Amino acid sequence: MRKVLVFALVVFSAPAFGQSLEPGEWEFTSTMTSPMIPKPQTGTFRHCIKKEDADSPERWMGQQNQQSDCKVKVTKKSADGVSWEMSCPKSNMTGTGTARIGRGTMQSEMSMSGDMQGRKFEMNTKMSGKRLGACKT
């Protein structure tokens, strides 16, 4: 579930506003907290974002996006940011989030809640991304 949420966060935070991620090698670090887990969980991953895919995370996230039933509704846009609401009916989750993209950087926050196997849960995820340079081919 954590992997789906992290990928959903990247997928839905990047393209929804005027500025897109710059093409190149990106490194994303996410930290998830929840009363259900004893300590924050942090993960880092890298992606090569091609020029033709910079505005379309569905393309650069590939198969990961197909695993998610999440739908996003943008609630506010600005030149450097976006706010959204997210609903994942099959996963029984809902959430809200915000993101900002700057030159070579991205920061986002998302709060999710839902019901998993009869237990209510809440989690918060903060993510930062930075462009490392040209893609390593």
All domains of the chain in start order, with CATH: 2-133 (2.40.128)
Q: In tens digits, what is the pLDDT along the chain, a chain of 137 residues?
A: 544 454 455 544 444 444 577 899 999 999 999 998 899 999 999 988 888 777 654 454 443 445 567 787 888 888 887 788 888 888 888 999 888 888 899 898 999 999 877 889 899 999 999 999 999 87
Q: What is the pTM of this model?
A: 0.73
State CA 19 to chain mean position distance: 16
